[in-house]
Chains A and B, each alone.
Chain A
Amino acid sequence: MSAVGTVGQLLWKDLVVEWRGREILTAMLVFSMLVAVVFNFAFSPSPADAPRLLPGMLWVTLAFASTLGLSRSFVLEHDHGAIEALRLFPFDPSLIYAGKLLANLLYLLAVEILLLPALAAIAGVPLLASAGPLAVILVLGSIGLVAVGTIFSAMSVNTRIREVLLPVLLFPLAAPVLISGVRAMLSVLAGASWGAILPGLRILIAFDVVFLVVGYVIFEFVLEE
């Protein structure tokens, strides 16, 4: 089977398992909505403040929600010994990384698609007018988050402190994504052009490329026992 076919199969397996249980997506969605509501309790932004606060609220919510999803990503595999079975298949173990990454990316994008309108409605910020740049920032940022997150998710599931270790690994490493994402989104909401957010987009793209490649190469060292 080709590499693409294998990744497709791995992704399909994850999506089928998720469809049957709906554990990860439900948890991520409910949790991210709750965080968004808590933020509004904390800041209760006025319509004038909202565009300034929304990017930070959104990215913090996404960072939390992604750790929730990522921490579950390898739990099923690990607890049922399925990861051993996966490693027995005669393909490059890095393809497992690609499959898991795509599944995690899809979950995060699904959460964003539902969270963004809700947050816009709660905070009263019209997002539709700048949907194009916002979508680009979100997709690039999400790829970055899951690119490092998938590596650390496979690591933390094998340790004693599992769910505790994942966020402390992920957040310092994901700092460029969070900083550039928030800053770029602020500029977009303040009415900046594509040119103004280009430096941020470049950092996001560089981050995505570096950690997709590093993750793909290094993943076999994470998996082996």
Chain B
Amino acid sequence: MATLADSEPLDASGGSDWRAGGIWVGGLLAVLGMYMATLYAPTERTMSHAQRIFYVHVPAAWAGFLAFGVVFVCSIGFLWTRRRSYDLAAQASTEVGVVFTTLAIISGAVWGRAAWGTWWTWDPRLTTTFMLWFIYAVSLMVRAYGGPGSQSGRFAAVLGIVGFLDIPLIHLSVVWWRSMHPLPVVVRSEGFGSGLHPAMLQALLVNVAAFTLLYIALSGIRRAQLVAADAVAARREEQRIREGTLAREGTR
């Protein structure tokens, strides 16, 4: 009787070296970034040490938005070309993006508690990010319950496109409703980073680089896992068919 071990070893890793490297470099950068955030960057005048949450909050939010942008592009790619690799990339990016967005929301709430005296307000950025989190959390639900075969991937791709296009509209509607979030300090009309002390900007950029690298590596690893799961499922199916044929030959 054939077992999985008998057959050719599965190579679904696709050379995971660059991903491991990304984790290492990203992790080291994150350590450096945390050092710079806590010891190198000067203490903010009004918010004091609470401001240091900024060095986690902004990179996490950035990585989350980047992930959902990738989901949008991969979703279009999947519906257009029907290549499974786009679907898997979208799924991996959704999962990692939800993690980073959760981190951004939690760190923002902690900061808000220190700076505003409240964990949560219905400010445009907060509300938009929260709705964004909902859309992609639901997208994970669609993947889990979406039905047989490629259907769940197709539905998640539809949601990935519709949800991404909805974000500006959500933001506009909440801006019309109310606004309280601190204004941008990095990308401003007075010049890049003009709202920040240079050491603060350096600490922020190191953290942004670390989180971006970690996002790329983590979603790469997750995609490799999904590819491997696909390969195992295909191998099982193949084996099941082979055993079925053997059994029928046996009874003959």
Q: Which residues on A are within 8 Å of B, measured CB to CB? A: 148, 151, 155, 158-161, 165, 168-169, 172-173, 175-176, 179-180, 183, 199-200, 203, 206-207, 210-211, 214, 218, 221-222, 224-225
Contact = CB atoms under 8 A, between A and B. Distances in A.
A173 B163 contact: yes
A225 B151 contact: yes
Contact of B147 (A159, A183, A207): A159
20 contacts: A155-B158, A159-B142, A159-B145, A159-B146, A169-B138, A172-B138, A173-B162, A175-B131, A175-B166, A175-B173, A179-B176, A180-B173, A200-B173, A200-B176, A207-B169, A214-B161, A218-B162, A221-B157, A222-B158, A225-B151
Contact of A173 (B135, B145, B152, B157): B135
A88 to B, nearest CB: 19
Contact of B162 (A183, A199, A200, A211): A211
B49 interface: no
Nearest to A177: B173
B40 to A, nearest CB: 39
Given A203-B173, A222-B155, A176 B166 contact: yes
B162 to A, nearest CB: 6
A95 B206 CA distance: 51
B169 A176 contact: yes
A183 B127 CA distance: 15
A157 to B, nearest CB: 10
Contacts of A224: 154
A59 B79 CA distance: 34
A206 B158 CA distance: 19
Interface in B150-183: 151-152, 154-155, 157-159, 161-163, 165-166, 169-170, 172-174, 176-177
Given A175-B131, A221-B79, A169 B169 contact: no
B231 interface: no
A196 to B, nearest CB: 11
A92 B76 CA distance: 20
B134 interface: yes
Contact of A158 (B147, B159, B162, B163): B147
Q: Ordered nearest first, which 4 A-B pairs have the shortest CB separation?
A: A172-B134, A176-B173, A176-B169, A179-B173
Contacts of B138: 168-169, 172
A207 B166 CA distance: 8
A179 B175 CA distance: 10
Residue of B134, B151, B176, B177 with most chain A CB atoms under a 10 A cut-off: B176
B141 interface: yes
B145 A203 contact: no
